[in-house]
Amino acid sequence: MIYNLGSINADFFYRMPRLPGPGETLAATAMSSGLGGKGANQSVAVARAGARVRHIGSVGSDGRWLVDQLAAAGADVAGIRISDLPTAHAIVMIDSAGENQIVIYPGANHDQCPEQIKAAFAEASPGDWLLLQNETSHQLEAAEMANGIGMCVAYSAAPFDADAVARLLPHLSLLIMNEVEAGQLTKALGKPVLHLPVANVLITKGAKGADWHDTRLLQTVSIPAFSVDPVDTTGAGDTFAGYAVAGLSQGMSPQGALRRAAAAAAISVTRPGTADAIPTLVEVEAFLA
């Protein structure tokens, strides 16, 4: 079982001829909305990878439709509470090459509570996984609870904050970052990746694939990306992370889990949207075949 203390956003997408510069106003060519947030995206990816996932999070009274979408995707939503704060939302601008700029309002994502998290862990067992990202409150408390149960803890260090990562490192089984975040962390801590105080580090590199670093064995496994024509890169990292942790929880080797995750991410960037773009396991297996 995978538990995910994660953000839940209403995503608003604006297709742009190009991304605007400072002080510039541009007209969008199309607009749509849907379920998003790094946490929700990862829960959808886990569920579509065939693993069980319980999402822990908060939405405002205006966000019940997002909870319904998470449930429809296969996530257990018993750990989601209704907050007095508005539901979080994101403004996503996407250019003709599929690149994006994103502005986030955190809202209810910063209104988690320890009692809610503890109740969601009531059925957790040693060997289960906890997924965390840097878009909610109470990450450290959740990690400490998970450690007490004997769970594995994976943390996506985005949006990046070196201090937040440093606080969580002693509690992690797996740290997930992109190349830029990895550079920022190694500079902040003064240590190379293989000397970071965490058992495993997963670094995503977009079109260049991903690297899995085992800091105990001082070994690195590299997985290439699949070549596709991108339409929208929003949420690709979350698709990769969710599929990767799902694979690990299902007993796959890091190499096998990352290859399947790379295929899922490749499919996702050929589609518009975030959670809606995440492929099913059947689609991923067909792609790999």
According to the annotation, is 247 in a ligand binding site?
A: no
According to the annotation, is 234 in a ligand binding site?
A: yes
According to the annotation, is 127 in a ligand binding site?
A: no
In this structure, which amino acid lies at residue 265? A
Would you tell me how many other CB atoms lie within 10 Å of the CB of residue 136? 27
Q: Which residues are catalytic?
A: 238
According to the annotation, is 235 in a ligand binding site?
A: no
According to the annotation, is 205 in a ligand binding site?
A: yes
Rounded to whole angstroms, how far apart are CA atoms 189 and 51? 34
The burial of 218, by beta-carbon neighbours within 10 Å (0-12 exposed, 13-18 middle, 19 or more buried), is given as exposed
According to the annotation, is 50 in a ligand binding site?
A: no
According to the annotation, is 270 in a ligand binding site?
A: no
What values do phi and psi take at 254, rounded to 5? -55, -40
Q: Please name which of 262, 169, 249 lies closest in space to residue 211, comparing C-alpha atoms.
A: 262
According to the annotation, is 206 in a ligand binding site?
A: yes
According to the annotation, is 186 in a ligand binding site?
A: no
According to the annotation, is 190 in a ligand binding site?
A: no
The secondary structure element, H or E, covering residue 214 is: strand 210-214
**Residue 8 in contact with residue 70, Cβ under 8 Å?**
yes
Alpha helices in the chain (DSSP H): 38-48, 64-72, 114-120, 139-149, 162-168, 179-189, 236-249, 254-268, 281-288
According to the annotation, is 208 in a ligand binding site?
A: yes
Rounded to whole angstroms, how far apart are CA atoms 4 and 242? 10
According to the annotation, is 273 in a ligand binding site?
A: yes
Pairing status of strand 2-5 against strand 30-36: unpaired
According to the annotation, is 18 in a ligand binding site?
A: no
According to the annotation, is 38 in a ligand binding site?
A: yes
According to the annotation, is 118 in a ligand binding site?
A: no
Would you tell me how many other CB atoms lie within 10 Å of the CB of residue 23? 5
According to the annotation, is 182 in a ligand binding site?
A: no
Rounded to whole angstroms, how far apart are CA atoms 40 and 181? 21
According to the annotation, is 54 in a ligand binding site?
A: no
> Which positions ≥6 away from 121 have C-beta within 8 Å?
3, 145, 146, 149
Q: Which residues are annotated as a binding site?
A: 9-11, 37-41, 135, 178, 204-209, 232, 234, 237-238, 268, 271, 273
Q: Which residues are annotated as a binding site for substrate?
A: 9-11, 37-41, 135, 238
Q: Which residues are annotated as a binding site for ATP?
A: 178, 204-209, 237-238
Q: Which residues are annotated as a binding site for K(+)?
A: 232, 234, 268, 271, 273
